[in-house]
């Protein structure tokens, strides 16, 4: 069974973030440049929010607001679900499914040490399943 720390060990431990006063437009540009769907919103070392493509779609586009002037702090998600590196992939998947979120910041000793996405979890689960399939095939074929 894989854990969050195993996922982080296989991806860059770079955490992409913006400050609360960053405009939505600049945040979207950063997401596009980095090919990611979320940004942590940080005040210094403190995690204060999470800004996602979904926040933009639902809170800006649908309300006909301007991304060029609006700061992310106005629409970021403030109730952030975080996990520790010791959490299992299955526990994180259950949390994401129950709470309908796609990204979980990873916190260790009160510091942000990474981010895991639903895609990261799917990839880890598929990897484990492939190993199991290979072992079963070997067992069957001798
Ligand atoms: N990530 C994968 O390995 C993977 C595997 C299979 C399919 N997909 C598909 O790709 C699409 C989106 O992928 P996703 O769910 O991984 O979301 P995503 O596009 O937001 O994430 C892409 C990668 O960037 C990382 N990331 C995202 N925000 C970050 C941040 N602020 N700081 C640091 N790293 C950050 C994620 O952990 C992930 O590794 C989905 O359609 C998904 O099904 C992804």
CATH of the domain at 122: 3.10.580.10
Q: Sign of dihedral through CA atoms 102, 84, 113, 6? A: negative
Domain of 63, in residue numbers: 4-141
Least confidently predicted of 11-25, 59-73, 98-112, 118-132 = 59-73
| Residues in Cβ contact with 118 at an 8 Å cutoff, skipping those fewer than 6 apart | 93, 96, 102, 103
Q: If you measure from the C-alpha of residue 117 to the centroid of ligand 1, how many angstroms do you get, rounded to a whole number?
A: 5
Q: Is the CB of 118 under 6 A from ligand 1?
A: yes
Please state the atom number of ligand 1 nearest to the C-alpha of residue 53: 20
115 Cβ inside 6 Å of ligand 1? yes
75 CA distance to ligand 1 centroid (A)?
A: 21
- The domain total for the chain is 1
Q: Is the predicted pLDDT of residue 21 greater than 90, yes or no?
A: yes
Q: Which has the closest alpha carbon to 96: 127, 62, 34, 50?
A: 50
pLDDT in tens, 44-103: 999 999 999 999 998 888 888 888 999 999 999 999 999 999 999 999 999 999 999 999
**35 CA to centre of ligand 1 in angstroms:** 8
């Amino acid at each position: 069974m894989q854990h969050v720390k195993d996922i982080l060990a296989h991806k860059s431990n770079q955490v992409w973030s913006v400050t609360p006063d960053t405009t939505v437009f600049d945040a979207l540009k950063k997401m596009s440049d980095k090919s990611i769907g979320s940004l942590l919103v940080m005040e210094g070392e403190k995690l204060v929010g999470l800004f996602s493509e979904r926040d933009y779609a639902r809170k800006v586009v649908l309300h006909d607001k301007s991304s060029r002037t609006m700061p992310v702090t106005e629409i970021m998600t403030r109730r952030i679900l975080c996990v520790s590196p010791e959490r299992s992939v299955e526990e994180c998947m259950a949390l994401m499914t129950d709470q309908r979120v796609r990204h979980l910041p990873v916190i260790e000793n009160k510091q942000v040490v990474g981010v895991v996405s639903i895609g990261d979890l799917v990839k880890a689960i598929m990897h484990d399943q492939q190993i199991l399939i290979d072992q079963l095939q070997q067992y069957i074929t001798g």
